[in-house]
């Protein structure tokens, strides 16, 4: 069992490229199932969740191969319409395969997805949308069996919340349905736009992705195409937060500054100087950050919930008090107790967390509670005196491509070490 060992404090300095977006890659790979033939995905990150998607694709009958940072999926022959339970449990976004399999095969059988570390994550909006498009759904004993007897049909959908996953599944179900589907209150995240761009290049007719209303005109068939995955805005936010807490100067290449607006506002308010290029962001941080006004997580284009924990870590040593309000997930403060072990002063009341900046943080052994919470601990460790050991590295590997290598290249003293002790600690943690 691996852990990350960080000797701090350090000052990050230098430049690095940002990986492709995990939250684009997973739905893109799922949708390649219904784009018959060969799809080529450039700038594809090597992540545990991507490996799980590949296992699912191979189970369904697709052929998949890596070449550098390009992943090719050949979905000429799809032979299965089920996803085994152990693969569904590995990651929440396995549910996005449902719409793709249904559109391609007319039936699908899978179990409820795993990954409930952020609190309850129901899929009612996904299933309601599919029912309205003509899918018969039977839920029993943790399995979901879906059938399309009389064909998928276009309809008008109103999502009661702009859920990212439900928008993606609705798109994938509608794209080859008979007639027009209108999705109201759709999620507006850049990853939805990326999915729509890929599908349109494959022959789909989708308009309005990135806005609240998406209109999908069903087409008869889709073919594969080549697509470059957008940069990961959460990884970029994590690296900027890490640089900021260390008083560093970094330049991120291969980013989309527009996708980072709410995060960049907070960084500026904290006292960082930013220079934006077309696909670059340069940040210079002051020796000590200012506290900021309330950070409220909201659906895009609001402040992303996935950047909440990295930002909270960033402000642990700020000058003043910051209020965080989590509005997307019920249980997204699990990193707080671990940040307190590093010397952070944080109080949680319901959906709010109050962070009082402290002068110093001190290295400790901490356990990643989830993917982004794990990133927050690494950020805290970079700014702590002495040694920080971050256990639960598997979480980080689900969303960050070689995080320790990237941070080392920016001057951090961080390494991955194998440690049996770490495994025991994590099990009892």
Active site residues: 116
* Closest separation in Å from C-beta 409 to ligand UD1: 25
Query: CA-CA distances (angstroms) from residue 179 to 34, 106, 208, 219?
Result: 18, 17, 17, 8
Cα–Cα distance measured from residue 51 to residue 347, given in angstroms and rounded to the nearest whole number: 37
Which residue's C-beta sits nearest to ligand UD1? 165
Residue (of 130, 217, 169, 137) closest to 33 by Cα position:
169
* Closest separation in Å from C-beta 316 to ligand UD1: 22
* 174 is a contact residue toward ligand UD1 (CB under 6 A): no
Give burial (CB, 10 Å; 0-12/13-18/19+) of 164: buried
* 133 is a contact residue toward ligand UD1 (CB under 6 A): no
- CB-nearer residue toward ligand UD1: 209 or 250: 209
DSSP lists the bridge partners of residue 146 as 108, 137
* Closest separation in Å from C-beta 313 to ligand UD1: 17
Structure letter (DSSP) for residue 175: T
- Residue 217 is inside which H or E element, if any? strand 214-217
- Per-residue contact track with ligand UD1, 269 to 308, x per CB under 6 A? ------------------------------------xx--
Cis peptide before 192 (omega within 30 of 0): no
Cα–Cα distance measured from residue 243 to residue 8, given in angstroms and rounded to the nearest whole number: 13
* Closest separation in Å from C-beta 179 to ligand UD1: 24
* 122 is a contact residue toward ligand UD1 (CB under 6 A): yes
- Per-residue contact track with ligand UD1, 83 to 102, x per CB under 6 A? ---------xx---------
Token pair of 203 as six digits: 């022959």
* 328 is a contact residue toward ligand UD1 (CB under 6 A): yes
The answer to whether residues 244 and 272 touch, using CB atoms and an 8 Å cutoff, is: yes
* 116 is a contact residue toward ligand UD1 (CB under 6 A): no
- CB-nearer residue toward ligand UD1: 157 or 342: 157
- CB-nearer residue toward ligand UD1: 20 or 248: 20
191 to 220, contacts with ligand UD1 by CB under 6 A?
191
Give burial (CB, 10 Å; 0-12/13-18/19+) of 295: buried
Could you write out the DSSP letters of every residue in 113-129?
A: ----BTB----HHHHHH
DSSP lists the bridge partners of residue 365 as 389
* 125 is a contact residue toward ligand UD1 (CB under 6 A): yes
Out of 2, 62, 87, 166, name the contact with ligand UD1 by CB under 6 A: 166
Of the ranges 8-16, 50-58, 160-168, 220-228, which one interacts with ligand UD1 (CB under 6 A)?
160-168
- CB-nearer residue toward ligand UD1: 135 or 412: 135
The answer to whether residues 393 and 374 touch, using CB atoms and an 8 Å cutoff, is: yes
* Closest separation in Å from C-beta 233 to ligand UD1: 11
Q: Is the Cα torsion angle 339, 340, 341, 343 positive or negative in sign?
A: positive
* Closest separation in Å from C-beta 329 to ligand UD1: 5
- CB-nearer residue toward ligand UD1: 3 or 133: 133
* 259 is a contact residue toward ligand UD1 (CB under 6 A): no
Of the ranges 98-106, 124-132, 237-245, 281-289, which one interacts with ligand UD1 (CB under 6 A)?
124-132
- Per-residue contact track with ligand UD1, 3 to 22, x per CB under 6 A? --------------------
97-105 helix and 164-174 helix, angle to the nearest 10 degrees? 10
Cα–Cα distance measured from residue 352 to residue 226, given in angstroms and rounded to the nearest whole number: 43
The residues binding ligand UD1 (CB under 6 A) are 23, 26, 92-93, 121-126, 161, 163-166, 187, 191, 305-306, 328-329
């Amino acid at each position: 069992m691996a852990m990350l060992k960080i000797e701090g404090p350090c000052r990050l300095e230098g430049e690095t490229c940002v990986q492709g977006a995990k939250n684009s890659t997973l739905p893109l790979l799922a949708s390649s199932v219904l784009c018959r033939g060969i799809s080529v995905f450039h700038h594809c990150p090597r992540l545990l969740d991507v490996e799980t998607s590949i296992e699912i694709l191979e189970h369904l009958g697709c052929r998949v191969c890596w070449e550098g940072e390009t992943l090719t999926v050949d979905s000429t022959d799809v032979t299965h319409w089920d996803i085994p339970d152990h693969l569904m449990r590995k990651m929440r976004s396995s549910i996005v395969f449902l719409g793709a399999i249904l559109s391609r095969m007319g039936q699908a059988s899978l179990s409820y997805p795993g990954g409930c570390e952020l609190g309850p994550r129901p899929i009612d909006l996904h299933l309601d949308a599919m029912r309205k498009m003509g899918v018969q759904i039977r839920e029993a004993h943790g399995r979901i069996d879906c059938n399309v007897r009389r064909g998928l049909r276009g309809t008008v959908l109103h999502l009661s919340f702009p859920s990212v996953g439900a928008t993606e599944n609705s798109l994938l179900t509608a794209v080859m349905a008979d007639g027009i589907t209108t999705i109201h209150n759709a999620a507006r995240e850049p990853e939805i736009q990326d999915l729509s761009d890929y599908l349109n290049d494959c022959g789909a007719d989708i308009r309005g992705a990135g806005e609240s209303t998406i209109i999908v005109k069903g087409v008869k068939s889709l073919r594969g195409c080549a697509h470059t995955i957008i940069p990961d805005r959460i990884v970029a936010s994590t690296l900027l937060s890490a640089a900021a807490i260390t008083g560093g100067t970094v330049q991120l290449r291969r980013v989309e500054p527009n996708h980072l607006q709410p995060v960049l506002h907070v960084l500026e308010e904290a006292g960082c100087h930013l220079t934006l290029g077309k696909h670059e962001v340069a940040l210079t941080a002051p020796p000590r950050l200012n506290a900021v006004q309330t950070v409220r997580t909201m659906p895009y284009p609001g402040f992303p919930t996935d950047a909440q924990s990295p930002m909270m870590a960033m402000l642990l040593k700020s000058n003043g008090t910051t209020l965080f309000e989590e509005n997307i997930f019920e249980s997204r403060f699990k990193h707080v107790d671990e940040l307190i072990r590093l010397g952070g002063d944080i109080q949680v009341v319901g959906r709010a967390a109050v962070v009082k900046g402290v002068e110093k943080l001190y290295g400790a052994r901490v356990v990643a509670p989830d993917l982004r919470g794990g990133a927050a601990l690494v950020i805290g460790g970079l700014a702590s005196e002495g040694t920080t050991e971050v256990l639960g590295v598997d979480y980080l590997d689900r969303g960050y491509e070689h995080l320790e290598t990237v941070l080392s290249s920016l001057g951090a003293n961080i390494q991955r070490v194998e440690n049996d002790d770490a495994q025991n600690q994590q099990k009892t943690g």
